[in-house]
Amino acid sequence: MEYNFKEIEQKWQAYWKEKETYKVDTNPEKPKFYVLDMFPYPSGAGLHVGHPLGYIASDIFSRYKRLQGFNVLHPMGYDAYGLPAEQYAIQTGQHPAVTTKKNIDRYREQLDKIGFCYDWSREIRTCDPDYYQWTQWAFIQMFNHYFNTQLQKAQPITSLVKMFEASGTEGIQAACTEELTFTAEEWKAKTEKEQQETLLNYRIAYLADMKVNWCPALGTVLANDEVSEGVSVRGGHLVEQRVMRQWSLRVSAYAQRLLEGLDKIDWTESLKETQKNWIGRSEGAEMKFSLSFGEGRGGVIEVFTTRADTIYGVTFMVLAPESELVKVCTTPEQAVEVENYIAATKKRTERERIADRRVTGVFSGSYAINPVSGAEIPIWISDYVLAGYGTGAIMAVPAHDSRDYAFARHFNLPIIPLIEGCDVSEESFDAKEGIMMNSGFLDGLTVKEAIEAAKKYIADKGIGRVKVNYRLRDAIFSRQRYWGEPFPVYYKDGMPYMLDESRLPLELPEVDKFLPTEKGEPPLGRAKNWEINGYPLELNTMPGFAGSSAYYLRYMDPKNHKALVSKEANEYWRNVDLYIGGTEHATGHLIYSRFWNKFLFDLGLVCEDEPFKKLINQGMIQGRSNFVYRIKDTNTFVSLNLKNQYETTPIHVDVNIVSNDILDIEKFKNWNPEYKTAEFILEEGKYHCGWAVEKMSKSMYNVVNPDDIVEKYGADTLRLYEMFLGPLEQSKPWDTNGIDGVHRFLKRLWSLFYKDGIFVVTNDEPTAEELKVLHKTIKKITFDIENFSYNTSVSAFMICINELFTLKCSKKAILEPLVILLAPFAPHVAEELYHALGNETTVCDAVFPVCHEEYLKESAVKYPISFNGKVRFTLELPADMSKEDVEKTALANDQTIKQLDGKSPKKVIVVHGKIVNIVI
């Protein structure tokens, strides 16, 4: 019997399905382990060989944990809402639900072939009303809560209303969009509409006029993490700034907790660093500068600075063009110039501003007073100051800030150095080091001391206060698109109200076209009867990250109609022990879901503050492209090593018609009609292709489909080879050449069980040597799995089989534990062989073998004998020989005497059991 992977894999996949091998339930008898993959967006292109990398890794770990006696939750689902299906719908009229379903079916078919141990009974799809009901429900809770900054916790908005009724904003500790001040009487005097408007300022899910990233090509706004360098991450379309009334989530309120939480979780340092930067905490001071014409006319500028120590070096102030203070500060003489500048700034897109780093700005005409030195300084307006960060105004210290320096140089403003010995003739001195000068009471202090002293001074004199600022912005939550979750929101008198929870899910309505209405409303504006009790429903839909923010909770209890997750299920499964996915979600999904989870935690609905305990980012699988070289203006192709003799154009060729960089000429001729009559200049009868590592994509003709690999080599080979390629977290190119190695390994394993179709496994007692091979492997595999070093595990298996092959070992006592050891990696062949050995239950429920150190003991050690660190020969000595005796034996050796050449050694180092080094 040959190793017939096709038959074996179909047989066991059917068996697992029939026996529900991968179904799990809460089981208080067993410890739980939750392994999660970032669920995929089912794209029309299907899976390529890069996608399953992380899934295979998590599958191995799940199976390993199960063999160790854990109750493992390992679910899968689909992030089914998204732009591509909707763009496709706009082009073809095909309903996105139809395309999405088709794509999901295709994904499932591909995933099934690889033999994953997912509990598919727990599958979720974000576009399924049973699922998005809980996305809508969570949104309602966010609307009904505010963030109490003192408790650092979400609280019911009703409790805030009670405080307003009792004492207005006096003593309120609430995260808000804008600092408001009113009394209880003023609150009570407000109309219902005014009160609602006021509450939006505090709600965690709120509606507000915001400067948003508007993408005209997609017809929607985008969140900050969906925009990179002025263009949309998806599609690369231009993005511009606009002010629009949009739903937002007050993620910024959780900035401090999101930051602190990072210390409690086991993520890579680089990912934590990325999140830290995105949150962008900076400690500093908020300071008041009065205008020279007096505060009477509303003239106070507040600035935020992390360098309070540089207060004596402030030579001008700068306002963001959008700042409300621009109006106050602009003098009649400067009005025209200021207006022109602001108009010009508005026209520039984000992208233009990034591309064009020219220094621009305009003088407002007014002056401010330095609150510490009393100096009078001009107030400028420039777009290098951002309205959205800090207070939208800065104190400029050109000597010690490179942006201020560039500005000062351009407009000829004074530059006062504040640190002894610094040279500011060519550039600013930004480093926070040195001794202060020109700084009054701060002179002589180090920068660090001066920062503290200045902060204290400012606070004591009432000039300002110590403050912490965050870069993290609230998440814009509205999308002007069709294919997303509808908001459970209706409008009364222009104000938003939440639907009663009993009316959930609010299902996505049908529309005639997936385009905006003539009035420019989102596509939902086309829906008939999109209203409730005569009140219009919200026309925006939720963004892509809405559905992925709490999906890991739903897997715990996917069919629950009463709650997102039951208390019992949540308290059993708690949070994700191992999360595997791509690093591209570092600032999007991984921030939002942490925020979402913390919010639910505050409400007492989930029992863990952090959703993902350990996270691993699998590396990207890059493509390996092949090239043919066409001689210019001909249809003749020249082989790689002869191409320099001609003038050629490299052309991408489908990697699937190339093997080991040798082109299949017949297939090439049929690949494209253009090449039907192509001629070739060969090397020794072969056409050698060039190659390069590029992104895996259709246009590079380097996409490899896992289905093809499974068809040709089987799923077990695919799984092993994906792991064998290299370290999990590293990016590496896919090269199908080399897959023969792991396939050969499986065939060789098979040959230990079957010879000429006869089962040859015996019950003979294993020898000490065979036991050593086995236990060495157990030890290595266990260590490697715990450390996610799967590439070296595959090598270890190969070494083991090679050794058993040499020993001609077909003993059950050795092979059975080995099969269990291999089961997480190659489950199909392991299941087959496990049953062949006489077992009647699934290998998934076997017990993972344990290494017994006593089998590993060596009786002799091969000591490398080195001279001045260079190894000259080896000496085999008994393992229990003492250090002194090893030294004596080594020195007495003929070869040592030869190496010493009459000289006496200065020093001899013996590392017991390792090495001998003789220093001459």
Provide the minimum distance between the beta carbon of 308 and RNA in the complex, in angstroms, as a whole number.
8
Q: Tokens 């050690």 map to which residue?
A: 861
Q: Which of 112, 186, 584, 609 binds RNA (CB under 7 A)?
A: 584
Pair 551, 542: CB distance under 8 Å: no
Provide the minimum distance between the beta carbon of 318 and RNA in the complex, in angstroms, as a whole number.
8
> Which residue lies nearer to RNA by CB, 112 or 584?
584
Q: Tokens 């949150």 map to which residue?
A: 279
By CB under 7 A, the residues from 454 to 493 that bind RNA are 469, 471
Provide the minimum distance between the beta carbon of 730 and RNA in the complex, in angstroms, as a whole number.
6
Q: Which of 615, 725, 771, 781 binds RNA (CB under 7 A)?
A: 725
The residue range among 148-156, 673-681, 704-712, 795-803 that interacts with RNA, by the rule CB under 7 A, is 795-803
Residue type, 396: A
Return d(Cα 47, Cα 76) in angstroms, integer.
15
Provide the minimum distance between the beta carbon of 525 and RNA in the complex, in angstroms, as a whole number.
32
Q: How many Cβ atoms from other residues are within 10 Å of residue 644's Cβ?
A: 10
Residue 17 CB contacts under 8 Å (≥ 6 apart), including other chains: none
The verdict on 287 binding RNA (CB under 7 A) reads: no
Q: Tokens 């109490």 map to which residue?
A: 148
Return d(Cα 304, Cα 39) in angstroms, integer.
41
Q: How far is CA 328 from the centre of its chain?
A: 44
For every residue of 701-729, DSSP letters joined together read: T----HHHHHHHH-HHHHHHHHHHTS-TT
> Which residue lies nearer to RNA by CB, 698 or 870?
870
For every residue of 124-155, DSSP letters joined together read: -BTTSHHHHHHHHHHHHHHHTEEEETTTTEEE
By CB under 7 A, the residues from 211 to 240 that bind RNA are 224-225, 228-229
Provide the minimum distance between the beta carbon of 383 and RNA in the complex, in angstroms, as a whole number.
6
By CB under 7 A, the residues from 619 to 658 that bind RNA are none
The verdict on 305 binding RNA (CB under 7 A) reads: yes
The CA dihedral of 410, 411, 417, 421, to the nearest 10 degrees, is 30
The verdict on 823 binding RNA (CB under 7 A) reads: no
Q: How buried is residue 375: exposed, middle or buried, by Cβ count under 10 Å (0-12/13-18/19+)?
A: middle
Q: How many Cβ atoms from other residues are within 10 Å of residue 449's Cβ?
A: 14
> Which residue lies nearer to RNA by CB, 86 or 225?
225
DSSP 3-state of 749: helix
Provide the minimum distance between the beta carbon of 568 and RNA in the complex, in angstroms, as a whole number.
39
Provide the minimum distance between the beta carbon of 732 and RNA in the complex, in angstroms, as a whole number.
3
The CA dihedral of 404, 410, 416, 422, to the nearest 10 degrees, is 80
Provide the minimum distance between the beta carbon of 743 and RNA in the complex, in angstroms, as a whole number.
7
Q: Tokens 């499964």 map to which residue?
A: 573
Return d(Cα 278, Cα 470) in angstroms, integer.
9
Pair 249, 430: CB distance under 8 Å: no
Provide the minimum distance between the beta carbon of 438 and RNA in the complex, in angstroms, as a whole number.
18
Q: Which of 53, 57, 381, 742 binds RNA (CB under 7 A)?
A: 742
The verdict on 340 binding RNA (CB under 7 A) reads: no
Provide the minimum distance between the beta carbon of 684 and RNA in the complex, in angstroms, as a whole number.
8
The residue range among 79-87, 131-139, 234-242, 273-281 that interacts with RNA, by the rule CB under 7 A, is 273-281
Q: Which of 217, 431, 768, 909 binds RNA (CB under 7 A)?
A: 909
The verdict on 302 binding RNA (CB under 7 A) reads: no
The continuous run of DSSP H or E covering 877 comes out as strand 870-878
Token pair for residue 849?
Answer: 């073998």
> Which residue lies nearer to RNA by CB, 480 or 791?
791
The verdict on 432 binding RNA (CB under 7 A) reads: no
Return d(Cα 301, Cα 314) in angstroms, integer.
14
By CB under 7 A, the residues from 751 to 770 that bind RNA are 751
Q: Which of 32, 307, 554, 643 binds RNA (CB under 7 A)?
A: 307
For 786-804, b/e burial (b = at least 16 CB within 10 A) is eebbbbbbbebbbebbebb
> Which residue lies nearer to RNA by CB, 353 or 812?
353
Q: How far is CA 914 from the centre of its chain?
A: 43
The CA dihedral of 802, 806, 808, 810, to the nearest 10 degrees, is -20
DSSP 541: B
Provide the minimum distance between the beta carbon of 610 and RNA in the complex, in angstroms, as a whole number.
21
The residue range among 147-155, 181-189, 603-611, 728-736 that interacts with RNA, by the rule CB under 7 A, is 728-736
Provide the minimum distance between the beta carbon of 386 and RNA in the complex, in angstroms, as a whole number.
4
Q: How many binding residues for RNA (CB under 7 A)?
A: 85
Provide the minimum distance between the beta carbon of 319 and RNA in the complex, in angstroms, as a whole number.
9
The verdict on 726 binding RNA (CB under 7 A) reads: yes
The verdict on 277 binding RNA (CB under 7 A) reads: yes
> Which residue lies nearer to RNA by CB, 395 or 565?
395
The residue range among 191-199, 271-279, 368-376, 419-427 that interacts with RNA, by the rule CB under 7 A, is 271-279
The verdict on 716 binding RNA (CB under 7 A) reads: no
Q: Tokens 């930004």 map to which residue?
A: 430
Return d(Cα 666, Cα 816) in angstroms, integer.
47
The continuous run of DSSP H or E covering 340 comes out as helix 335-347
The residue range among 67-75, 329-337, 547-555, 797-805 that interacts with RNA, by the rule CB under 7 A, is 797-805
DSSP 616: E
> Which residue lies nearer to RNA by CB, 447 or 564?
447
Return d(Cα 75, Cα 69) in angstroms, integer.
18
Return d(Cα 558, Cα 73) in angstroms, integer.
12
Return d(Cα 24, Cα 449) in angstroms, integer.
59
Residue type, 386: L
DSSP 3-state of 919: strand
Distances in Å between the Cα of 114 and the Cα atoms of 37, 58, 825 are 15, 13, 11
The verdict on 274 binding RNA (CB under 7 A) reads: yes
Q: How buried is residue 892: exposed, middle or buried, by Cβ count under 10 Å (0-12/13-18/19+)?
A: exposed
Provide the minimum distance between the beta carbon of 822 and RNA in the complex, in angstroms, as a whole number.
14
The verdict on 676 binding RNA (CB under 7 A) reads: no
- End-to-end Cα separation, the chain, in angstroms: 62
Q: Which of 496, 706, 733, 827 binds RNA (CB under 7 A)?
A: 733
CA angle 260, 265, 271 (to 5 degrees): 85
Provide the minimum distance between the beta carbon of 344 and RNA in the complex, in angstroms, as a whole number.
12
Provide the minimum distance between the beta carbon of 907 and RNA in the complex, in angstroms, as a whole number.
6
> Which residue lies nearer to RNA by CB, 133 or 791?
791
The residue range among 77-85, 107-115, 177-185, 276-284 that interacts with RNA, by the rule CB under 7 A, is 276-284
Q: Which of 201, 282, 349, 517 binds RNA (CB under 7 A)?
A: 282
Provide the minimum distance between the beta carbon of 887 and RNA in the complex, in angstroms, as a whole number.
13
The verdict on 839 binding RNA (CB under 7 A) reads: no
The verdict on 616 binding RNA (CB under 7 A) reads: no
> Which residue lies nearer to RNA by CB, 282 or 889?
282
The residue range among 267-275, 324-332, 674-682, 708-716 that interacts with RNA, by the rule CB under 7 A, is 267-275
Site string for RNA, 391-430 (x = CB under 7 A): -x-x------x-x---------------------------
Strand partners, 476: 248
The verdict on 792 binding RNA (CB under 7 A) reads: yes
Q: Which of 503, 460, 541 is nearest to 82 (CA)?
A: 541
> Which residue lies nearer to RNA by CB, 138 or 615?
615
Provide the minimum distance between the beta carbon of 66 and RNA in the complex, in angstroms, as a whole number.
26
By CB under 7 A, the residues from 859 to 898 that bind RNA are 862, 864, 866, 868-872, 874
